[in-house]
A and B are shown apart, each in its own frame.
Chain A
Amino acid sequence: MTQKIFISGMHSGQNPASGLGIARCLRQAFPDLHLVGVDHWQGSTGLNAPVLDEAQLFPLWSQLDNNSHSRQVRDWLDEGHLWISATDLEVHWLNDHVGPHENLFAPTQHAVEETSKPRVQAVTELESMGFRVPEYIPANLPDGEIHRFLRHNAWQCWLKSPYHDAKRVTSWGVFERARAQLKQNWKTEKLFLQRTIFGHEETIAFASFQGELVDAAHLTKRQITPEGKTWAGSVQPLAEDLRRGLAQVMRDLKWNGGGEIEFIRDPDGVRWIIECNPRFPAWIFGGAISGINLPGKLMARALNREYRDTPARGAGFTRVVVEIPVQESIGLPWLSAQTATEWSIDGKKGKGGPSFGSFVPDLASQQDEAESEASEALLPPPDLPPPILWDDVRGLMRNFQEATPHRAPLEGWLKQRFRVLSEKAKKASPNSPKIRVGYSVKTSPTDFHLAQARESGFLAECISQAEVHRAIQTGFQKNEVILNGPGKFWPQDQEPVRGLHLVFADSFEEWETLITDPKGPMARGMGLRMRVPQVHSRFGNQLDDFENFDRIAKSLKKFPKTADLGFHFHMPSWAIGMRRWQEAFQSLLLWCQTLERVGGIPVRHLDLGGGHYPGDLPELDFPAIQEAVREALPSVVTLYFEPGRALTQDTEVLVSRVLDIRRAPDGSLREVVVDACVAELPLIHSHRHRTYYAARSAPPLGLPQTEVLEAGSVRILGRICMEDDILSPGVNLPDSVALGDCIVFGDAGGYERSMSYVFGRG
């Protein structure tokens, strides 16, 4: 019988397992060994390596029958074959299902527990080894404790799973996301938070035969991939003091097989332990190149064969990427239908190294120079606003004397926005279904805006009883109100207004309350807000799950006969773009159609919500939308749109004055500070704002000119002491700018108004 050496862990990607390295070490030490590569995924490319005599591909771990696999492994071991485990997961599995065996090279359960993260007790309790444990806490402590730990460590920590994987934590938000992700990935609550140690990474690889240290190698990492994996390093024999300590650990734990201690050496030379892995490291062949072939020495002991060290072949080792033929017996994995770009999604892929960015400016400037003379005619025209808006801005600034910061409406442009939409809806409405616009009150609830909405024939779309009352006070009738949102009955100290035009339930519970209200329907039309699959939203009734869908369908049997059924959805084209909005709309039609058929009640009202970018509003093709609705849902009588931001965002400006001008030592203009701030422009970082400049003093001839500021190199800073109070990363402000000159921020209406707050005013 040919004795076989089974070596698991043949993954050979950016985060490789050590199986291939072990095989190369053994081939170098004993060319006659019969090496069998083992893995559970066809994409583990090391299976194709010519260094192997044979490859065994088992099913994915999730498809594995533990009994037959453990029986098979045990049979092989009993027959005298050897098994070197090279993955953490498999070491755990072997301990659970196979147990110790003289031919199995993997530490026992006891040894694994004694060297587990974060304490790595067996190693760190030996003072002679000089390892310290970075401060840590369990991540299932109360959040207050965790927050204190993070603060205490200057938000420089790692969240780690007990098995594998770690996420860098630099803020509370990052921590919460990392905690949720690691819990989900590893199905465990046993996460821990450990402070970051700054220093250089080193590791000690070792081989131990039945509790006796065979040899060890000390690696200093010299190049590291973005994933933190070794790419190049120098390997030295282990220092004697460490070797003595390690030998004792191996004896105590009766370690059989390979292993690795990872640590960081800080600038003071202190060694901080990171973890101890129960298998050889993936760089293990780098050790053999450097004259320390640990797997070779281990097998020499196991097989009782003579072994001679091979002299070092270099001053260290580095990895390279090589192509090899795919073995007939393995083949290539299929590409997944939807992950044609999976690799790029997966990220950096070892593209660390010299940055080419530093070369770019030279190249770019050469190109710019060459092109500038010939291409002046090709320069984009100034980004002038629409004429009416531009006239409003210039008119406002012509005799501007107000105290700043000052928010001012652009009345001509605002009326134009409302008029155009109103006419568009009226023009489309002779067709079926009729189109109604519901003005989103929350966006800008000023008297002026509400009056404009009413005069335009719009309904009022409200999200609370307070807004309903506000709409009614300004002249809307009750039956001109659409009520929506998760808190529509707030404040609760007053009876909700009844007799509304439409009301949409945000949850199934709210829906049940609405349709079984003993007082009867509170609105002419009642419906559900739908959360269509693939749409990331906290609002509405989720349709991803059949059970949710089914209970909605069944509840329609209780729908009051005196009301009309409607559905509402909100897909902000603002965030997802018009093309995707149209696809989502098509998808919504199918959901409505499905519920109509299953529930047996015709859908009369369809509310498509708002969230359109101002510039996208004209792109809404009402006739096409009407036609699609007519075809899919012939019973729909009215189709609703709820613009708010799209109508108001660019209908106001915020005027500020320059408080400070900052120049570089060479006199070039670098930054200006203005008297506006993020409190008046809370969404300054979330969308584009047109910016204008008006000099305080009149030019020699005529009135002061207002000009559009294009992108440039002068930053505009806000007046408050907040790091993010940067109102523009760069504009082409003229060098002649003077204190007191005006900088005008456009697109300052809508939520910029309604969400602004008072700050820094004492």
Chain B
Amino acid sequence: MSLGAVDLRHSFPTESLLRKSPSESQDREAWLLELVSGEEHWRKWLEHPASELLHHDGICCAAARSWLLAYARSMEISTLGNCETRAPAWISQRWEWGPSPWPMAWCELVKRDVLDCGVFAVLAREIFRAQGISAHPAQALLHYEETCTQHWKQLWATDPRATFPWVGKRMVYHELCVLELPDGSARFYDSTWGQWYHPEPRAGHGAILALRSECPRLLKWGGKIFQHGDWVKL
């Protein structure tokens, strides 16, 4: 484990790590910290709660949220034939991915053309929930080479209000949503790009290094068990 001068046992006592038995917790801590070693913003990634939109508690946000859900319902009309699962893939076509100012309210998002993965994840979650599906926040650490990450850093630098340092050197923090199926299994959906994650090992550009579910119940996915708040190695 190589994390410079930082004493992890004091500076990184996340709740989920401390909940485990000492040896289990240490094992988990070890791989996770090794994974993020060398990355400047690792602490922010691991501690960052899933993004949420503000609601002004007024008609502005109520109208925006209602419009989105009504729009989503229309977009679900037979887009996938007779399939029950209707992922809101349309949101990644309606909005472009890019830097977004935070905090963001519902009434602001509907006027924007560009959204980041945090907003995309919130939208998907809301839409899945409106479909009656149990949907929860999820986070991911993904691998990309510097040939990509340096460009994304510059892209984010164009908007001073987009402050969260999600881009690392060879790794990025990403938000998505996890669906809790009736049989206790999970499905991870990346609404930024309109893609389902598959549990088979994935290499190279965009490889999933770790995932974290905020579902309050245990979830199974590809032979892994996801406990609320735990980062799971993939």
A residues within 8 Å of B by Cβ? 42, 56-59, 63-65, 67-69, 326-339, 532-535, 543-544, 546-547, 549-550, 553, 579-580, 583-584, 586-587, 590-591, 593-594, 597-598
Q: Which residues in B have their C-beta under 8 angstroms from that of A586?
A: 73
Q: Which residues in B have their C-beta under 8 angstroms from that of A543?
A: 67, 70-71, 74
Q: Which residues in B have their C-beta under 8 angstroms from that of A67?
A: 154
B204, A330: Cβ atoms under 8 Å? yes
B147, A336: Cβ atoms under 8 Å? no
B89 at the interface (CB under 8 A from A): yes
Contact flag A594-B66 (CB < 8 Å), given A57-B148, A330-B205: yes
A63, B204: Cβ atoms under 8 Å? no
Q: Which residues in B have their C-beta under 8 angstroms from that of A326?
A: 203-204
A580, B77: Cβ atoms under 8 Å? yes
B residues within 8 Å of A by Cβ? 59, 62-64, 66-67, 69-71, 73-80, 87, 89-90, 110-111, 145, 147-148, 150-155, 189-190, 193-198, 202-207
Which residue of chain B lies nearest to A589 when distances are taken between CB atoms in the complex? B73
B154, A334: Cβ atoms under 8 Å? no
Contact flag A338-B203 (CB < 8 Å), given A57-B145, A587-B70, A590-B69: no
Which residue of chain B lies nearest to A329 when distances are taken between CB atoms in the complex? B204
Q: Which residues in B have their C-beta under 8 angstroms from that of A339?
A: 89
A549, B148: Cβ atoms under 8 Å? no
B147, A57: Cβ atoms under 8 Å? yes
B151, A544: Cβ atoms under 8 Å? no
Contact flag A334-B148 (CB < 8 Å), given A329-B204, A591-B70: no
Q: Which residues in B have their C-beta under 8 angstroms from that of A583?
A: 76-78
Q: Which residues in A have their C-beta under 8 angstroms from that of B59?
A: 598
Instruction: Tell me the minimal C-beta distance from B34 to chain A in angstroms.
Output: 19
Say what secondary structure dominates the interface of chain B: mixed
Instruction: Tell me the minimal C-beta distance from B87 to chain A in angstroms.
Output: 4
Q: What are 29 of the A-B contact pairs (CB < 8 Å)?
A: A56-B145, A59-B148, A63-B151, A67-B154, A68-B150, A69-B151, A326-B203, A327-B204, A328-B204, A331-B202, A331-B203, A331-B207, A334-B193, A334-B198, A335-B195, A336-B194, A338-B90, A338-B194, A533-B75, A534-B75, A535-B74, A543-B70, A546-B64, A549-B63, A587-B70, A590-B74, A591-B74, A594-B70, A597-B62
Q: Which residues in B have their C-beta under 8 angstroms from that of A579?
A: 78
Q: Which residues in A have their C-beta under 8 angstroms from that of B145?
A: 56-57, 329
In-complex Cβ contact of B151 among A58, A584, A591, A597 (8 A): A58
Q: Which residues in A have their C-beta under 8 angstroms from that of B189?
A: 337
A593 to B87, CA, bound (A): 23
Q: Which residues in A have their C-beta under 8 angstroms from that of B207?
A: 331
B206, A68: Cβ atoms under 8 Å? no
In-complex Cβ contact of A580 among B66, B73, B78, B80 (8 A): B78
Which residue of chain B lies nearest to A547 when distances are taken between CB atoms in the complex? B111
In-complex Cβ contact of B71 among A334, A337, A544 (8 A): A544
A533, B74: Cβ atoms under 8 Å? yes
Q: Which residues in A have their C-beta under 8 angstroms from that of B80?
A: 338
- Knowing that A58-B148, A65-B151, A590-B74 touch, tell me 17 more A-B residue pairs with CB under 8 angstroms: A42-B205, A56-B147, A57-B148, A59-B152, A63-B155, A68-B151, A331-B205, A334-B196, A334-B197, A336-B89, A339-B89, A583-B76, A583-B77, A584-B77, A590-B73, A597-B62, A598-B63
Q: Which residues in B have their C-beta under 8 angstroms from that of A56?
A: 145, 147
A598 to B198, CA, bound (A): 40
Counting chain A CB atoms within 10 Å of each CB, the highest count among B69, B110, B205 belongs to: B205
A68 to B167, CA, bound (A): 16
Q: Which residues in B have their C-beta under 8 angstroms from that of A327?
A: 204
A68, B89: Cβ atoms under 8 Å? no
A586 to B131, CA, bound (A): 12
Q: Which residues in A have their C-beta under 8 angstroms from that of B206?
A: 42, 331, 333-334
Which residue of chain A lies nearest to B66 when distances are taken between CB atoms in the complex? A594
Which residue of chain B lies nearest to A42 when distances are taken between CB atoms in the complex? B205
B67, A590: Cβ atoms under 8 Å? no
Which residue of chain A lies nearest to B158 when distances are taken between CB atoms in the complex? A65
A337, B195: Cβ atoms under 8 Å? yes
In-complex Cβ contact of A337 among B67, B69, B78, B87 (8 A): B87
Contact flag A546-B196 (CB < 8 Å), given A57-B148, A337-B89, A579-B78: no
Q: Which residues in B have their C-beta under 8 angstroms from that of A334?
A: 190, 193, 195-198, 206
